[in-house]
Each structure stands twice: as structure tokens, then as C-alpha cells.
Structure 1
Amino acid sequence: MILDYVDCSNYKKYKIGTKATRLFRMKELGINVPDLICVLKDKTINLSILEKFNVKKYAIRSSGNLEDNNNTSFAGQFTTYLNVAKNDVNNKIHQCFMDSNLENVRDYLKEKNISKNALNMNVIIQKQINSDVSGVCFTANPKGILNEIVIVVGRGLGNNVVEDKIDVTTYYYNKSDGKCYYEKTKDSPELDEVHLNKIVETALRLEKEFKFYQDIEFAIENSEVYFLQSRNITTLDMNKEKIVLDNSNIVESYPGISLPLTQSFAKEVYYKIFKQVLIRITSNDKSVKDYETMLQNMVTSVNGRMYYQISNFYDFLNFLPFHKKIISVWQESLGIKDKKITRNHKIGFRIHSKVVRNFFKLLKNNIKEMDGLLKFIEDFLPIAWNRVDKENSVDVLMNIYDELMKEIILKWDLTLVNDMYAFLYVKFVKNKNLISKINNLESLKPALLIKNIKTEADKKKYINLYGDRILEELKLETKTYRTNPELLDQHIEHYKDIEVNNPKNDINIKNAIERRAIAGIKYREASRLYRARIYGVARALFLKIGTEFCKMGYVRNQRDIFYLTIDEIRNAKNYIDLIDSRKEEYENYKDLKCFSRLEFLGEIININPRTKNSNNRYSKTLYGIGTSEGIAEGEILIIEANTNVDTVGKIIVTKTTDPGWIFLISKANGIIAEKGSILSHTAIISRELGKPAIVGVDDATEILKNGQRVRIDAKRGIIECLN
């Protein structure tokens, strides 16, 4: 029996299966899909219909009513016939209809507990694409990375790719950053930027159209990209918890790779601090125990890099009154670009009523509480240092560590209250230039005092005060002036001509909001100096344990201790093989892109890279967030780590900075950073030094080149490439 064909004009009238229906819909959307028609169950066609295709060869494949559905993909179960001659089309149509009798199909139906009678077969006839390159694109990594597109490409027809018959190149594209890296195998092809962008753009469009993560097939013939299929990814269990990670702000404290000891220490510190805040604002409500998992996962690491588990931060902030407004202020203050809010917990009314009362009480008493905290730490730290210096026993040193966590970290939650205090009041300050009038900031003192070092006694005094204040100071593996005094000798010589613009006196500020904003910032900067000193104690303590482990034969050398977690240190044993393995693993991590945001389903996944490469977009004009006044011009100097380079007259370009950068910024004409916010260290220090600064410039270290001349307008946040 002959049936008029089903095409774009009438496909909505027939039940032709998800595959065919979507292909027709894609054609309607203007997506480049090869011409097709669909034949209904057990029918044939008049071959003259095929003349409209104006080709000699056809692709024949199934479109079952149960195929490509959310829970039943039938991927690879039915037969696809390629390069079919016109006179063989009806024969291949018949064979496609018979696929329902295949043993593998019967097994699939049985596995899915589906009756064979429920399966109805339809057949797609499509223009054959003789692809030079073909591939598959998943708009979410099927391992469970939701904001990572995975593209696999190989030479020739697509069946060779999906059946693993040829060498392929795999691209991993981060949706949030628009960055990717790829892994090659032997003679596998590479996509040029035009084709890669076309595939990504269309894939995201299809994901939006079909309202779910897509599994897409494509082919490239004579530089033209064709899309052959789009179906939902069926292996993603959306009932699992969505884990959202973001490195905004935390990347300033932990730039680049952080070793396991730093990771476990940071995770424990965040857990204890945020738990103490929750206890404080809920009056130790018994329900706090229900949020233990959330509190244990405020921060985490992926591929050796530190991230906020941002969904848990939103859950935490949800405790606070006016949390929607506070979250907005918090996002702006930390420079979070993706404002989408994800939550996994709901807060009861009873707890909220307690929190409202306690929260405003804490804000009211913030200045008094911060004064008391800083005085306590000032008195406590010399005692802690004295004990660490005198002790060599691993057990006793770990007892000192536990006391440090108990005595200081459990009081450190007050600094979070102060951060919120500063964020809120800075938000309402109309004249942001007032912030640059603050004098005597702790972040400036190291630069002011280093010029006064003349004798060994001066050096010893400086190290005692600021020996822990250096680039990447929160990473325990970082070498500091205290652990390596020769670093200070280098800086004394290199920065002896530094000129630091420090306001002599605070201006007379009568506005209460402005006074409180300035107070919050001062306490914030002071607390960060004390935090560096606390971390300095922990660093010295673990280095001592490293020395003892080395004597015991547990590690090869003292600094191997940084490749162990705190729990592993407690369970002391021979870790040499484990450390050797981790060193190789973490060396590989250095070659991976650092993505600002990662979204996982169910669990966090680390990547073990093989061959890596990058693909980035370029522009002659770049934009960021201007954090200070001024226009500057100069040659680019890209700095990736703390180094004794000459920055005079240069425009520093970096991924991120922290207080240790003050020595570099002071002699430069200006600074550009990929990360930052109005309260970031980059912003605060550059304002105090009177240096034009622009932060939040995506991919600046990749787009800009050493020696390139640029002009930066820090007020407008614009960077012009002059050559």
C-alpha cells in the first residue's frame, strides 16, 4: 500500500516517534537538518517521492514510538543503513520495521519491562551526508557535570564515532565560562573555532527548546555542519542533589592548585566557623544538627582547586532575615556572576523568628565583638607559637592543633558577621570614594614598614608581625617570610624604592552609614592579617610534623606533609607511595583550565586529564569592573605567581591577587585581574595606592600578551588594546 509521505507540513498529525518529530521541529527552527521524510508502520513509498532530495544515496533509520524517550533511548538497538541506493530504499525500510524482532531489542524491552506489542516502528528516510568529520555532543557531561558540554569528533561517518571504531578528539566546554579544553587520540581531527562555536550554539539552543540536556549527533561535510538527531540524555538521574560550585572570591585566597592538607584544613575551618554562626544566630537550636551535611560541605576542591559549594551558601543565607536582599548584596560583594540561586534546604518559621532577633543584635554589637575578638587573638597567638616552637611530639602537636581550632576558630565566626556588616553598609554608601580615604589599614602596613628594615633586629620584628603575610598565604604549602626568611631579603632589595600613598588622617565623617561601612572594612582587613597569623601557626605546626614523619620513614621529606589530609596525619603510617601518586595527579591538574563554576549531579567529579589544549575568544576591547578612579597606559606584564619582576610603568595582568601583591602593584601603572569585586583585596589595595584597577576581566591572562600596549579606564572598566 502506498502512503503519502510525512514531512514538515503534516508531521504533527501523526505519531511518528520522538526522533522524527524532533528532526521536523528542528527543521522548523531553521536548524541545518538534512532533508527527510518519515514512513509509518509497515508502509512503503513511491520511489518517485525521493526525487525531491536530489541525491543518489540515502540514510535509512528507525523512529520507534518508544525510541529516544526520557527513560527508553533504545540507543544502538535499531539498525541504521547508510549510503542506500534509491532502488534499495523500500527493502531497507522493511528491514527497519523488522528490527522489533531483533534479539537485542527483545532483551532491551524485557530489561525495561515493556511488552513487545507496545513498540511501533516508523522509518526515517534522509539525505545522506558524506561527512568529513562527524560526532556526538552531550549538553551535559553524562558523568554528571551539568554545565559541561562534551563533544566527541572523528573522521568520516558518525557510526564510526559512536561505535568507537576510530580515533576521536573529545572537547569539554564549560557553559559558564565559555572555555574548553580537548583531548586527542593519535590521528584524531580538531574542530576549528567556527565549527566548535556553531555546534555549541546549536546544542544550547536545542537544550532550551526541548527543556532538557540533549544528546545530539552532527556531521560536517564541505565545512557545513548538519544536525542529525537530538534526544534527551537518559542517564542523568535528576532526582539526585544538584551540587553547584563557584570560585568567586575564594580564588583570591586559594589561587591555582591547593594541596590536600590545605584543602582539608580549609574544609574543617569553614565547617566549624559556619556551624558556630548557625549556633549563635539560632540560640543553639536543636535543629542545627539537621544541617550537618550542609555545614561540612561549605567548601570543596575539584581538580586541585578550591570552590565554594554555593548552593550550601544560599541555604545558609536563607536563615537570615531579608535573605533575598542579603543574597543579592553578597553576590555583588563577592563578584559572583551567575546570579541563579539553588537551594537544597528549607528553613522553618520557628528558627527564622529566633534568627531575626539574634541577627540584628549581632549587627548592633559588631564593633564591640570585633574589638574583643582581635584582642583575644593578640593575646593567644604568642602562647600558641611558644608551644609549637618547643614541641616535637606528633601527638602533642596535633593536640595543640585541636586547641587552636577550639580556642580561635570557634570564635572566628564573628568575622563572618562583620563581613555581612561591611557588605551591607558599603552597599548603602553613596560616595564610594570615601572608602579610599581610610588610613592605617592593616593591608598597607607591610609595604610601609618594609622600607624601614635596616638591621637584623628590624627584620626579626617585621617577620614577627608580618612574616605570614604573603601571596597565597592561606595555602599551607606556601613558603612565607617566616618559614623562608631569605624571601624577605629579596623583597627588601627589590622594593626599596616603593612609594606608598597612605592617607595621613581619616576625614571627618558624620554620616552614620559611612562610619559603619569604614569600620566594617577596617575590621575586615585587620581580621585577614590575624587570619594569616593563625594560618602561620598551623603551617609551622604541620611542618614540624613533616619533620617527624620524615624521621619515621612515613614521608620522603618534610614538605611531603602537604600532600596528606588532616585525617591521614592523625592515622600516621607510611604514605610514601600515596604521596608519589598524588604528586603526579596534582602535576596533571596544573594543565587543566580553572573553571569559575561547576554544576554536578549527585557527586563531585575530579578530572584526570591526558592531552590538553585551549580554545578562547579574543577581542580588541575588554570590559570588567572598575574599582578605582583613573586612566593609565602601559605595556602588559602577565604575572602568574609571586615573583621578583620589575613592574615599574607596567600594567599588571593576573588571574587574581591577594595582600601579597601590594609590593608588585605599588610600582605599576595599573592592574587588570580576572577575578575580584568592590571589596576584594585587589580593589581595596589598589584604591589605597591610587592605582587604576579593573577586575572581573574574563580570560585576561590569555587574551592579553606580554609587551602589548593597552590603555585602561578604571572608572568605566574598559581596556583598549593599542597594538
Structure 2
Amino acid sequence: MVRVLVTDYREQEQNAAMLGGKALHLFRLKQWGLQVPPFVVLSAQAFFQWRSNNQALPESIKEELEKHIAKWDAQYFAVRSSMAAEDGAEASYAGMMDTFLFVPASQIIEAVNNCFGSADSKRAQIYHEKHSQAREHESAAVVIQEMIPSEVSGVAFSRAPVGDSSLCYVESAFGLGEGVVSGTVEVDRFYADRWENLVASYIAQKETMVTHNRDAIRSPHTHQVEVPMNMAAKATLDPQMALEVVRATLTIERNMRCPADVEWATHQGALYLLQARPITTELPALEYFIDTNLSESYPGLISPMGASFVRRVYETVHRRVGAVLGLSAKRQKINEGAYQTLIANVGGHLYYNLQSYYRMLLSVPGGKATVDNWHRMIGGARNLDVIIDNVDEHSKGELLSYYAAIINLTLRHKTIFRKFARQKNRQLVEFLEYFRGEKDPKEIPKALDRAIEEASDFALTSLNDLLIMLSTRKIVDLLGRHGYPETVLPELIVTQEGIESLKPLAGLESLCESIVDPKRFLDTFRAAIDEADSTSEQPYSGIYTALVQAGFENEKHCVERYLEVYGHRCFEELKLESLAFSQSPLEFFRLLSWKLKVPKATALSDRSEEKPSAPVQLTGFSGWWLKILTRFAQRTIATREETRFIRGAYFGLVRTALLAMLRRLKRDYPGCFCEVDVQDFFGLTLEQLLEFADGKTSAQELAKQAKDNSQWAAGSKVFPEFFCRILGANGKDAWFLRTDVAGQQSYEIENGVLGTGLGASAGRVEGIPLAISDPREAFEVDDLSEYILVTKNTDPAWVFIMAQCAGLVSEKGSLLSHTAIIGRELGIPTVVGVKNAVSRLGSQEHIVLDGNTGIILAPEQEIKGENSTA
């Protein structure tokens, strides 16, 4: 039987109906580690005794209650109802019973009697009848809680009640929350995403507030007063406290497993949760997106053509992965929807659809560990809000096929990937010859469609990523068993043979050394660029002629050789609309002229130098096993970068094909395509090209489609790493694309710490932060040796810039991201995963970066603490 006076959480679960919704949730808030003012509950047993005692609290209960609250040393109390059916799915009972605030100890018994009495009020009886509630639901409990003399109070919703319900919503006002709940005072409004980033705030001109009325002898002990003039326009919450409210609200939602609304208050800088309840209104489901490492390949805006191509390639490749790993036909059919929606184009930016990715990953043996390992590789952690149910257990046949595929790929890794490289290079040559020779523009989309199907071979690169996940996980487990932290992993997985991504840099260094008279060479090169046409099959022909005539025949051959090998490279090389160096003489000129001005890179690691002692010393079987695992991890990581190079060449092939198609369209349909430029053309999609190839669309209609979408590059340039939206919503409805909602953030600097992330390459360095979003912005700086590069993420073309810098910082990434791998290869101190690094660090004059701890400090600060992620 439940006690009359309940103080212990362990009692409440079995007796929830006797405590009511409000009290039940207060106990749970305490269990979840949230700060709740001291409280005690008079259960429904007390209510029944109150009723049978002529609606008066029995003396025994009075004595027990008064004895208990005397321990709190509180001056005032809040007395609130807690109905048995309160905050239920059928009825909320909000406002049906009385609440008393700032009740002195001498008036608590009177307030309890009045609170119980409101259960029999006329309004409560009408509410019972309207919602067809049974008589037992009329039972009530009462919460007696220490009163918080709040400076600021308000409400918060884990799903915004109006507008975009994917956002969290906070309302706040000066004084007590009574005015916010009743709607009688002006409130500030804050919106935040579900990753605790403040995205919008609206600060009201506040005229009134509710405060304690110290002159009141009886209830109510509150009154409404004017807000002091010097506070009227001031924000009630600073960004940090607003986000603390959001953080607590989301914690409550995740523990309740349903949307929640919360009443809260702040006092002397501390946040108190006063009550919480589930939101009973049915809300649409949410879908979650992340661009963590996808933005390395496709930063910022991507053309409609590029987006449609990437979606098709991901679908094709991952369907093949499932087949290679032996997934049953039934499971492959179930996964089909996931394969088709792995990539989402939101406002011109590419995201992983987490529901689709998780479903695909969970279909592979390993379950949630596979999802965790995937996040370990790309950065971030598994999103607990994304729940995938009904994943069938794997059959014995599937398990055997899976482990056979993994063992085969592990044992024959070198052979398999050498064969893959030869095969893809041969296919690239064959397709390139075809596209250069094909005269009919309608045949090119069909050939591209075939090339996409043959791209399924890139499934091997995803399987290689799986091997990276498995090997690094085993290394971390082995280290942990011997007392080593995960932070030593970066030093263990530095590749020993150099990686493909660095070769264009070495080639460019050699090219620069071959130029005898750099100034005259560049003048000659630049003068000839104006005659070059990026849509031409030979955009460098006039430049080569000019160089030879100026006496630079040897240099011309060096440029030609470099472009033959690395001409498919470019900045943002996996975005089809980004012209390669071989297609854009101006882009290559800008890189070459800058490289000729800057000092030769000194950060390149010299593998022949004596290395420091190993960070881990294991003996016996463990030492042997660690050596095997680290060598294999190094090989798979190097393979990852090598296959990036092949992938870049493959995208370069597609870019060449599309430009060839545009040339032929201009030639065959001059009336339609004379005004369609390269940017217009990339505003089309692969599906539109295929419709033209199949005769479903005329040349005139295709040209019109291109011009209609010619403004695709005028969209937003800033995209959050994470976001969610209502399931099935239009991508244009994402909060960060609406002009009336601007992202906002404020940062505190504590103890000189400017940011923390994951130490990815060891070393400590002080330098000037160079916060940029495009590597070409660095061309304005002649000597980067004193600069620490700060960016959201990098792709292979950033290596030209990275090699010149003293340190590297990126907002996104993991130990296996491009920034981390190149940082280790170049021997440059590197920290990845520093939240909002560009905003935080860009305004600093100098910063200190520690690649061992992952901490970034203001100068003259001691680096302390463990590795952590902001």
C-alpha cells in the first residue's frame, strides 16, 4: 500500500496512479540527473483521508508534513495538484486544479486543503464529464515544493507547438513563470535545433512581469509589475542558458520517449526544472540528416546534375555491397527503399539520410556496433533519436556468406585492390575515348547510365571502409585491455608508404622547380588564357603554343605531363560542376602562380628520418597481434586514399562527358543552346538528360529546363552539419533555408580554452588562425608557414594548402577523415571535430593548437585535461 507522504523515488513506479502525473514526472526528473527543487508528495491516500475527514487534512498527516518540510530551511513553498489522469494521452487536466505560489510555512496546510478542494470544483467536474473520465480519475495528490525565487522563468517544448516542429522552442520572461503560462507578460522566444544549436531568437520589449507580492497576507502571493526600463529590451536568457534549457528539455524527451513540454526557472545562474509532461498532441515523425564526412567530397552547394549523379552512384554501389556480403534476396528487397534514399539533396546540399543509412548498416551482421563503427570512421556518434525496428535476425547462410566475404577481402586485400585499380583505369580510358569520339549527344546520357552501373565496382571501397572500421575497433579494444587510451590510436595508424593524395603535391613541386623564369612564364601563360575555352576539347592548345613561342618548350612539356596525370584534379573535385585543372587553365594558373610565390613546403614528413619511440609497448602475443592489426589498418587507410584518386578520375570522366555533350548540343541545336553556358547545363539532372536521350524531351525543352534552373548556384552557402525535418517535408522547408530564420551562436571562452576536438596528429604549435571555406582563399597569403588552417572540412585538393601550414583544424572529421590522414602524413599537428571552429577561432589573433590533447587555447595558456569533443 502506498504511503500518505511519499519522498522516495523507489516507491513511485508501483504506485503511479496514487501520485499523479506531475509528481511522477518530478521523481523521474531527479532520477535522470536533472535539478529539481526539493519536494514531497501527499499521495491520493491523503486525498481519500481528506475527503472522509470532512475535507480537512487529518492531524497525523499535518504533523508528518510539517516535520518533513522543516528540514529544508525554505522560506516559501509552491503547492500544486497532481491528478491521477493528469498529462495522459486522453486528457491533460491542465489548469483544472488550483496552484499556490510563495506559500509561507504557516499557510501550507490551508493551501493543501484548498488544492484538494479544487478537485471537486465545478470546472473539474465538467472536465471529467467532457472527457468521459471514470470516478477514480478524480483522485488527486499534491506536490509541496520549495519555491524558487526565479529571476527568469518560462516554458520549453521539445517540439515547437507552432511552425517548424522539428525545432525546440523556449519562451522566457523576467520573474515567475506564472505570467508566461497564463500569457499575461511579454516573452522572449528562442528556437534551437535538436543538436543544441541556437538557430533563432526574438527578443521582446518587455513591459510587465510577475513577481512575489511581499505585502500579500493571503493567497495569491504574486502580482504583476512593470519591468524596469533598463531591463525592458534586454534578453532574458543568454545563449548559453537558452541552450541549457534546450539540453534539459531534449534529455527529458529522450527519457520519456515522447515529445515533452517543461516549466523551468533560473536562480543565481542555476537552472531548475519545475515540472514536465508529455505532449499529448499527435505530431508528425521526424527524419534526420548528417553531412559529417560527405561534405569533404561535396562541400557547400552542389549542382542538380551532380546531386542526381551522386544519388544514383550511392544507390548502385551500396546495393552491390549488400550482394557481395551475402544478404538474402528478401533482405535486399527490404533495403531497396534505403538504398534509394541514402543521399538527400536539401537546398542544394547533400546529406546522409540517417534512417536509410542505419537501416542499411543494421542489415549487416554486427547490429548497432556496425553503426557505432561507421560513426567512428566518419565522426560523431550514433543518433539515439533515430530508432530502426524490425530488423530480422540473419540466417546461418547470410552469416557464412558475410564472414567468407570479409575473410576473403582481408587475406587477398592487396591482390583484390590492385586488380580493381587496373580494371577501373582501363574502363576510364575506354569511356574517355568513347565520349571524345561520340558525335550524337543523345548517346552520351545512355553511356553515362552504363558507366553508373559499372560504378558498382566501387562497392570494394565501401568494403574497404568496413575493414577500416573493424580493424581500428579491434586495435582500440586491444589497447583498452592493456590500459592504453584511445588517444594513442592516431600515432599507430600513420601510413608507412605515403598515400596517393600527396602525389599531386610532389608533382607540382617538381613542376615549379622546372620553371627557369617564373615571372615571364606566368606572364606568357596568363596572356594566353583569355583565348582558352573550357568547353573546348583542347583548352590548352593556344597556351602551349604561346609558351613554346616564348622559349618555354621544356616547361610546356612539364605542364603537359603534369596535367596528363593529375589534370582531373580540381578544387571540390567530386562536384561535377567544378572544372578540372585540365579543363580550366585559369584555375590551374591561379594554383601554379601561388605555388611559385610561396616557400617550398617544409611540413612534409621524411620517412627516412629516425622515428620517435612507439607510443605503445606490448609484448608476446598481444604485441604480435597489435603489429598485425596496425599494419592492416595502415594498408586499408592508404587504400582508402588511393581509391579516392580513382574515384576523382571517374568523376572527371563524367565531367568530360557532360562537357562533350554540351559542345555537341551547341553544335547540333545552335538555336536552342547558343545561350546555355556550363553553369546552366549543370542545372539539369541526369534524369532529364536520359529523357532527352529517349526522345521524351525535345532539345528545345531541354534548353528551357536548363535556363529555368540556371540560378541553382545562388542558394544558401551555409549548411548545418546535422538537422532534422518533418518526415516527407519539402527540402526547401528546412529551417536554415528560410530567410526569416538566421543561425545564431555565441561562445564563451573558459580558462583560455577556445575549442576542443579530437587530436588527430601529434604536436603543439602556435600560429595565426586562417579561417577559410575555400582553399583558393589562401592564395591571398604568400607565406602560410605561420598560419594554422581552420576550416569546416577538406578534400584532396586542399593538400596544396595544407602542406604549407603550421597546423590544421577542422570542424568535422574523425581519425579517418581526409584532414586527419593528410595531417598525419605531413607531420602537421592536427585537431578535427572542433565544433564551430571557423566562427570561434577566425576572430582570434593567435591560437595554440595541441594535436595530442585536441585542445585549442589562447596564447600563454597551459594545456591541461583529457582529449574531448566540443
TM-score by length of 1: 0.79
Assess, with a 3 A threshold, how the Cα gap between structure 1 residues 166 and 413 changes in structure 2: closer, same or farther: farther
Equivalent residue for 1:364? 411
- Correspondence 1:401 to 2:401: no
Distance in 2, Cα, partners of 1:182 & 1:56: 38
Equivalent residue for 2:199? 181
Runs of 5+ unmatched residues, structure 2 = 207-234, 480-488, 516-554, 611-623, 692-696, 861-870
Distance in 1, Cα, partners of 2:79 & 2:607: 81
Equivalent residue for 2:773? 640
Equivalent residue for 2:504? 446
Secondary structure at the residue paired with 2:138? coil
Cα offset for 1:275?
Answer: 0.5
Of 502, 505, 520, 2:636 maps to: 520
Equivalent residue for 1:72? 90
Secondary structure at the residue paired with 1:537? helix
Distance in 1, Cα, partners of 2:791 & 2:435: 36
Deviation string 1:559-600 (CA, Å, 9 cap, x unpaired) is 24555554455556555897489667x42xx455433x7598
> 2:817 is matched by which residue type in structure 1?
S
Secondary structure at the residue paired with 1:368? helix
Cα offset for 1:291?
Answer: 1.7
Equivalent residue for 1:488? 588
Of 531, 534, 537, 2:647 maps to: 531
**Larger CA deviation: 371-380 vs 524-533:** 371-380
Cα offset for 1:491?
Answer: 0.9
Distance in 1, Cα, partners of 2:325 & 2:119: 69
Equivalent residue for 1:710? 847
> 1:697 is matched by which residue type in structure 2?
V
Runs of 5+ unmatched residues, structure 1 = none
**Larger CA deviation: 422-431 vs 633-642:** 422-431
Cα offset for 1:428?
Answer: 6.4
2:156 touches 2:169 (CA, 8 Å); kept in 1? yes
Distance in 2, Cα, partners of 1:439 & 1:209: 49
Distance in 2, Cα, partners of 1:324 & 1:209: 19
Of 235, 245, 249, 1:199 maps to: 245
Distance in 2, Cα, partners of 1:116 & 1:214: 26
1:148 touches 1:173 (CA, 8 Å); kept in 2? yes
Cα offset for 1:209?
Answer: 6.6
Equivalent residue for 2:169? 150
Distance in 1, Cα, partners of 2:633 & 2:248: 47
> 1:692 is matched by which residue type in structure 2?
P
Deviation string 1:114-162 (CA, Å, 9 cap, x unpaired) is 4575752759799999987553212356799999643233578757756
Of 674, 684, 687, 2:811 maps to: 674
Equivalent residue for 2:721? 594
Assess, with a 3 A threshold, how the Cα gap between structure 1 residues 44 and 144 changes in structure 2: closer, same or farther: farther
Of 695, 700, 708, 2:837 maps to: 700
- Residue correspondence of structure 1 range 140-539 to structure 2 within 5 A: 140=159, 149-153=168-172, 169-174=188-193, 176=195, 178-184=196-202, 187=205, 189=235, 191-193=237-239, 195-200=241-246, 202-203=248-249, 206-207=252-253, 212-219=258-265, 227-235=273-281, 245-282=289-326, 285=329, 287-302=331-346, 304-310=348-354, 312-318=356-362, 329-338=373-382, 343-344=388-389, 345-349=391-395, 350-389=397-436, 395-407=442-454, 409-425=455-471, 436=494, 438-439=496-497, 441-451=499-509, 452=511, 454=515, 455-496=555-596, 497-499=599-601, 501=604, 516-539=632-655
Distance in 2, Cα, partners of 1:366 & 1:648: 38
Secondary structure at the residue paired with 2:645? helix
Deviation string 1:604-650 (CA, Å, 9 cap, x unpaired) is 98324423211344342344333334332222221222222422211
Cα offset for 1:60?
Answer: 9.3
> 1:467 is matched by which residue type in structure 2?
G
Assess, with a 3 A threshold, how the Cα gap between structure 1 residues 555 and 563 changes in structure 2: closer, same or farther: farther
Secondary structure at the residue paired with 1:679? coil
Cα offset for 1:354?
Answer: 2.5
> 1:611 is matched by which residue type in structure 2?
V
1:60 touches 1:93 (CA, 8 Å); kept in 2? no
CA-atom RMSD in angstroms: 5.1
Secondary structure at the residue paired with 1:443? helix
**Larger CA deviation: 441-450 vs 125-134:** 125-134
Cα offset for 1:403?
Answer: 1.6
> 2:601 is matched by which residue type in structure 1?
E
Assess, with a 3 A threshold, how the Cα gap between structure 1 residues 183 and 7 changes in structure 2: closer, same or farther: same
Distance in 2, Cα, partners of 1:193 & 1:698: 16
Assess, with a 3 A threshold, how the Cα gap between structure 1 residues 394 and 153 changes in structure 2: closer, same or farther: farther
Distance in 1, Cα, partners of 2:632 & 2:850: 30
Equivalent residue for 2:745? 614
**Larger CA deviation: 270-279 vs 471-480:** 471-480
Assess, with a 3 A threshold, how the Cα gap between structure 1 residues 235 and 536 changes in structure 2: closer, same or farther: farther
Equivalent residue for 1:657? 794
Cα offset for 1:694?
Answer: 2.0
Q: Provide the identity percentage.
A: 23
**Larger CA deviation: 662-671 vs 360-369:** 360-369
Assess, with a 3 A threshold, how the Cα gap between structure 1 residues 211 and 95 changes in structure 2: closer, same or farther: closer
Distance in 2, Cα, partners of 1:382 & 1:61: 77
2:769 touches 2:842 (CA, 8 Å); kept in 1? yes
1:34 touches 1:129 (CA, 8 Å); kept in 2? no
Of 97, 104, 118, 2:121 maps to: 97
1:319 touches 1:352 (CA, 8 Å); kept in 2? no
Deviation string 1:490-527 (CA, Å, 9 cap, x unpaired) is 111111233363658899xx976665444433432221
Assess, with a 3 A threshold, how the Cα gap between structure 1 residues 359 and 17 changes in structure 2: closer, same or farther: same
Deviation string 1:372-429 (CA, Å, 9 cap, x unpaired) is 222222222234334445568664332122021022x121112222333445456667
Assess, with a 3 A threshold, how the Cα gap between structure 1 residues 575 and 76 changes in structure 2: closer, same or farther: farther
1:638 touches 1:654 (CA, 8 Å); kept in 2? yes
Secondary structure at the residue paired with 1:691? coil
Cα offset for 1:182?
Answer: 1.7
Distance in 2, Cα, partners of 1:283 & 1:123: 55
Cα offset for 1:667?
Answer: 1.4
Assess, with a 3 A threshold, how the Cα gap between structure 1 residues 385 and 231 changes in structure 2: closer, same or farther: same
Equivalent residue for 2:18? 15
Which of the two has higher C-alpha Rg?
A: 2
Cα offset for 1:90?
Answer: 5.8
Equivalent residue for 1:627? 760
2:47 touches 2:139 (CA, 8 Å); kept in 1? yes
Assess, with a 3 A threshold, how the Cα gap between structure 1 residues 257 and 195 changes in structure 2: closer, same or farther: same
Cα offset for 1:334?
Answer: 3.0
Distance in 2, Cα, partners of 1:380 & 1:653: 38
1:438 touches 1:503 (CA, 8 Å); kept in 2? no
Secondary structure at the residue paired with 1:410? helix
TM-score by length of 2: 0.67
Deviation string 1:461-488 (CA, Å, 9 cap, x unpaired) is 4334323323432233434424432111
> 1:278 is matched by which residue type in structure 2?
G
2:159 touches 2:165 (CA, 8 Å); kept in 1? yes
Distance in 1, Cα, partners of 2:203 & 2:439: 51
